[in-house]
Chain A
Amino acid sequence: QSALTQEASVSGTVGQKVTLSCIGNSNNIGRYAVGWYQQVSHGPPKTVMFGDSLSSGIPDRFSGSKSGTIASLTISGLQPEDEADYYCSTRDSSLSGWVFGGGTKLTVL
């Protein structure tokens, strides 16, 4: 069981807005910035954003936010190329390390 909780799957149609969530606790998301990673067809992951800042080359239809112990990744104007697995991750003070969510499989219908 992952330290961070993500939806197993989310789907949307082209152009739709979707939000992926990542639930943690006061030792991880409540304390540190959250990173979001995109993995297409089990290739290497790519950082989408960290905190509320986009990674270089990532389109601005992606945005991130955090409220308390819940982080969210929103994609406004879903595109076919956004279909991938998305993982959230952050540090955890109780584990002296990093934790990941179980990943969300995003399907573009």
Chain B
Amino acid sequence: EVQLVESGGTLVQPGGSLRLSCVASGFTFSSYEMKWVRQAPGKGLEWVSYISSNDVFTYYADSVKGRFTISRDNRKNSVHLHMNSLRAEDTAMYFCVLDDGGFDIWGQGTMVIVSS
């Protein structure tokens, strides 16, 4: 069974940094592209970042470009989101998403709150 378990979400001050992690199991992690998608409280879904299976290609939403970095470790079946210069508007549930040719599989999410 495919499982994606996110961690790292917490309360952080504006301007601070955070690293989210997602550990995958139940599939050949190194063969799949991964994404992060977030959802602010009471709002819709917003794509944040993408990383290719071989770590060659990464893409970011304009709202996080230059502040967030996505990475992966195929030996440890994990993908990470490094978040810097956090703003109040980054407050959201962050979901790790396996891109199975469009049939996305979602983790449970980890909550990030940016507030002083």
Binding site for B on A (CB under 8 A): 2, 33, 35, 37, 39, 42-47, 50-51, 53, 55-56, 87, 89, 95-103
Taking CB atoms, residues of chain A closer than 8 Å to B93 are: 42
* A47 adjacent to B44 (CB under 8 Å): no
Which residue among B44, B47, B101, B102 has the maximum number of chain A CB atoms within 10 Å of its CB? Answer: B102
Whether B59 contacts A96 by the Cβ 8 Å rule is yes
Residue numbers of B with Cβ under 8 A of A are 35, 37, 39, 44-47, 50, 59-62, 93, 95, 101-109
Instruction: Report the minimum CB–CB distance from A50 to chain B (whole Å).
Output: 4
Q: Which residues of A contact B60 (CB under 8 A)?
A: 97
- Is A35 a contact of B102 with CB atoms below 8 Å? yes
Query: A2 CA to B39 CA in the complex, in Å?
Result: 13
List 5 additional A-B contacts (Cβ < 8 Å) besides A47-B103, A47-B106.
A43-B108, A44-B95, A45-B95, A89-B47, A101-B44
Which of A2, A50, A99 is the one whose CB lies under 8 Å from B102? A50
Specify which chain B residues have a CB less than 8 angstroms from the CB of A99 in the assembled complex: 47
| Residue with the greatest number of chain B CB neighbours at <10 A, chosen from A33, A39, A45, A95 | A45
B102 and A51: CB pair below 8 A? yes
CB nearest to B57 among chain A residues: A96
CA distance A99 to B35 in the complex (A): 12
Q: Which residues of B contact A42 (CB under 8 A)?
A: 39, 93
Is B59 in contact with A37, judged by CB distance below 8 angstroms? no
- Top 7 A-B pairs ranked by shortest CB distance? A50-B102, A98-B47, A44-B106, A103-B44, A100-B45, A102-B44, A97-B59
Would you call B45 and A47 a contact (CB within 8 A)? Answer: no
- Pick from A44, A87, A95: contact of B44, CB below 8 A: A87
Measured between C-beta atoms, what is the minimum distance from B62 to chain A in Å? 7
Residues in chain B near residue A103, CB distance under 8 A: 44-45
- List of A residues within 8 angstroms of B61 by Cβ: 95, 97
The answer to whether A37 touches B103, judged by C-beta atoms less than 8 angstroms apart, is no
Find chain A residues with CB under 8 A from B44 CB.
2, 87, 100-103
